[in-house]
Amino acid sequence: MQKSYYNVIIVGGGISGTALLYTLAQYTDIKNIALFEKYDDIATLNSNAKSNSQTLHCGDIETNYTLEKAIKTNKTATMLEKYAKQYDYNEKYMFKVPKMALGVGKKEVDFIKKRYEDFKEDFPYMELWDKKKLAEIEPALLEGRDKDEDILAMGTQERYSAIDFGAIAKSFVRNAQKAKATADVHLSKEVEVIEQLGDKFKLTINTGEHYFADYVVVNAGAHSLLLAHKMDYGQEYSCIPIGGSFYYSKVDKLKSKVYTIQNPKLPFAAIHGDPDIIEDNRVRFGPTAIALPKLERYHHAHFIDFLESLSPSSEVLEVFHNLLSDEDIREYVFKNFLYEIPGIRQKLFAKEVQKIIPSLSEDDITFAEGVGGLRPQVIDKKNKKLLLGEAKIDTGNGIVFNMTPSPGATSCLGNALEDTKLICKFLGANLKTNKLKKELL
């Protein structure tokens, strides 16, 4: 007979939800766990390899990260790396692609030199690569470049840098179910309503069924805040979905992940070039960043859901107004809007690509149709600011909601462990600390 009661129910089968299923099954004595996913497969949205940049973010090449954030992200990246190695997924789902942050022109070159000095103690494997070294590692960066142009990169060939988060999410499910036969996965079941009834939660599914749990974690991407708002939680937050698209290079030019330097005023990471690990010999450039009135990138829009999740207010308008008052941000928003418009987008985006590979022209790139995803960026209404990382609403009542824009896929096990500890404390369950330390930390 099908079970309808669980100790823990997870809503959402992307990398966040599946990582939690894995940590609960593997490192706790909690018996009955279930995951509900509205589509018929795991990781079809943002965690899918087609939707994101496939980068295991360690903070060493992401120049929008402070040293503090880089150290924190590196820790969670290392957990994922350890997980993948434990199951021999290296060179299957996780690859050692060379990676670098590239500075072009005197100002950026000086920035790289300083960053290298600031980071070398915590990231000792990073190297400074001058023109001569770059000609060896990544000659495409020099093709067509003015001989007098200053360039310098900080990079490494030593670390795992590219990962198929979708394949890893599926592996979390397989390995969770091997560890605990009572870890159930319900596909094609959308959780429509969550209600608290005494010390239990009742979940109503689109099929009309009801399920009950002692604890619920909502890892539903852009839908997490919507489900929180429906329960009257998280009213201090608003969600603005930011779509990200990519362009393919028609010629296979890059062997490395090449990140460009971030303008610190801009809210999202600068354009980068990445060899695609699921499409042989193709290189992707992107992502772009455009606000979209929908909660899923390539499914039909639920405009009402978008509005409920945005919950427009004077504070939200003030955040938009403050952002758009800055000329650099205005220009960035406008440019990214144009990068989506057929007819002109290729020519305009080629200029971004040429910073990385000067010899590529607009005829060498093509808009990657159906590729890309959506980052649910959270606005903190109380402090009137856009939050750039992940956000969690821990109600303390046995239900948690996670909003996971980048680097949410990299930090899936770090976030899962945080929730696992909350759940164990709430339910009085045991965490297998020694096993956890040995295998993941």
C-beta closer to ligand FAD: residue 59 or 398 = 59
38 makes contact with ligand FAD (CB under 6 A): yes
Site string for ligand FAD, 354-393 (x = CB under 6 A): ------------------xxxx------------------
Pick one of 190, 279, 315, 340: the residue that binds ligand FAD (CB under 6 A): 190
> Which C-beta is closer to ligand FAD: that of 196 or that of 359?
196
Q: Closer to ligand FAD at the Cβ: 42 or 151?
A: 42
Indicate whether 431 belongs to the interface with ligand FAD (CB under 6 A).
no
Judged by CB under 6 A, the residue of 8, 9, 10, 15 near ligand FAD is: 15
Binds ligand FAD (CB under 6 A): choice among 54, 171, 238, 260: 54
**Residue 155 interacting with ligand FAD (CB under 6 A):** no
- Member of 155, 234, 244, 398 binding ligand FAD (CB under 6 A): 244
Q: Min. distance of Cβ 187 from ligand FAD in angstroms?
A: 9
SS3 of the chain = CCCCEEEEEEECCCHHHHHHHHHHHHHECCCCEEEECCCCCCCCCCCCCCCCCCECCCCCCCCCCCHHHHHHHHHHHHHHHHHHHHCCCECCCEECCCEEEEEECHHHHHHHHHHHHHHCCCCCCCEEECHHHHHHHCHHHCCCCCCCCCEEEEEECCCCCEECHHHHHHHHHHHHHHHCCCEEEECCCCEEEEEEECCEEEEEECCCCEEEEEEEEECCCCHHHHHHHHCCCCCCEEEEEEEECCEEECCCCCCCEEEECCCCCCCCCCCEEEECCCCCCCEEEECCCEECCCCCCCCCCCHHHHHHHHCCCHHHHHHHHHHHCCHHHHHHHHHHHHCCCCCCHHHHHHHHHHHHCCCCCHHHEEECCCCCEEEEEEEECCCCEEECCCEEEECCCCEEEEECCCCCCCCHHHHHHHHHHHHHHHHCCCECHHHHHHHCC
Residue 145 vs 276, nearer CB to ligand FAD: 276
Query: Among 119-127, 254-262, 344-352, 405-413, which window interacts with ligand FAD (CB under 6 A)?
Result: 405-413
- The nearer residue to ligand FAD, 135 or 187, going by C-beta atoms, is 187
Q: Of 287, 346, 391, 420, which lies in the binding site for ligand FAD, with binding defined by CB under 6 A? A: 287
From the CB of 323, what's the least distance to ligand FAD, in Å?
A: 19
Min dist CB 115 to ligand FAD, Å, is 20
Which residue in the set 154, 407, 414, 420 belongs to the binding site for ligand FAD (CB under 6 A)? 407
In the complex, the residues that contact ligand FAD under the rule CB under 6 A are 11-17, 36-39, 44-47, 51-55, 57, 165, 190-191, 219-221, 223, 244, 287, 372-375, 404-410
